[in-house]
């Protein structure tokens, strides 16, 4: 009986060791909710797989600071903990492009470009990003 209990315990520990790295390696997910800007959301916040996007596109494809039509942002200055790199840092309030439009232009623009160029498809419908 003791040997059987030990075998079961050993098996459970082995399974935990095999599964744990997978759980710890899950991609970083950002919640795009910005309640100070979107006080009356009609749709749920977007869960954004930032890590996945970092593997697929260059940082400056999304993060930008345009001066005379050129992105002058230095990618070496991007730090995850810096609130200045968030979209809301520049697009909240009365800016040239408000936050909602900035998200939609940036995300949908890239997703549509992927589809038309024959690459893997990405979400383009509201409910595909704004999931309940």
Cβ atoms of 89 and 83 within 8 Å: the answer is: yes
How big is the chain by its Cα radius of gyration, in Å?
Answer: 21
Asked whether residue 101 is assigned to any structural domain, the reply reads yes
Asked whether residue 117 is assigned to any structural domain, the reply reads yes
What is the arithmetic mean of pLDDT over 103-111?
Answer: 94
Asked whether residue 54 is assigned to any structural domain, the reply reads yes
CA-angle at 48, arms to 98 and 23, nearest 5°: 160
Q: Residue 85's domain spans which residues?
A: 28-129
> What are 84's two structure tokens?
């200045």
Say whether pLDDT at 20 is over 80: no
Predicted local distance difference test score (pLDDT) of residue 26: 39
Top pLDDT among 26 and 41 is at: 41
Query: What pTM, to 2 d.p., does this model score?
Result: 0.70
Q: What is the pLDDT of residues 39-90, one digit of tens each?
A: 777 889 999 999 999 999 999 999 999 899 999 999 998 987 888 888 988 8
Predicted local distance difference test score (pLDDT) of residue 7: 55
Asked whether residue 125 is assigned to any structural domain, the reply reads yes
Say whether pLDDT at 114 is over 80: yes
Instruction: Write down the mean pLDDT value for the chain.
Output: 81
Task: Please give the tally of structural domains in the chain.
Answer: 1
Confidence of residue 9 (pLDDT cuts 50, 70, 90): low
CATH number reported for the structural domain that contains residue 73 in this entry = 3.90.10.10
Confidence of residue 4 (pLDDT cuts 50, 70, 90): low
Say whether pLDDT at 29 is over 60: yes
Q: What are phi and psi of 11, to 5 degrees?
A: -60, -45
Would you tell me how many other CB atoms lie within 10 Å of the CB of residue 109? Answer: 10
Asked whether residue 11 is assigned to any structural domain, the reply reads no
* Strand blocks (E) in 3-130: 29-32, 46-49, 66-67, 70-71
């Amino acid at each position: 009986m003791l040997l059987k209990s030990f075998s079961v315990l050993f098996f459970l520990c082995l399974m935990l060791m095999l599964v744990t790295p997978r759980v710890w390696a899950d991609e970083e997910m950002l919640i795009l909710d910005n309640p100070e800007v979107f006080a009356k959301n009609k749709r749920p916040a977007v869960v954004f797989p930032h890590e996945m996007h970092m593997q697929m596109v260059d940082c400056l494809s999304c993060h930008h600071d345009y001066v005379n039509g050129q992105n002058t942002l230095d990618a070496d200055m991007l730090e995850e903990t810096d609130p200045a790199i968030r979209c809301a840092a520049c697009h909240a309030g009365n800016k040239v492009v408000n936050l909602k439009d900035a998200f939609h232009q940036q995300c949908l623009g890239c997703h549509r470009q992927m589809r038309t160029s024959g690459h893997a498809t990405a979400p383009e419908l509201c409910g595909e990003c704004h999931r309940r």
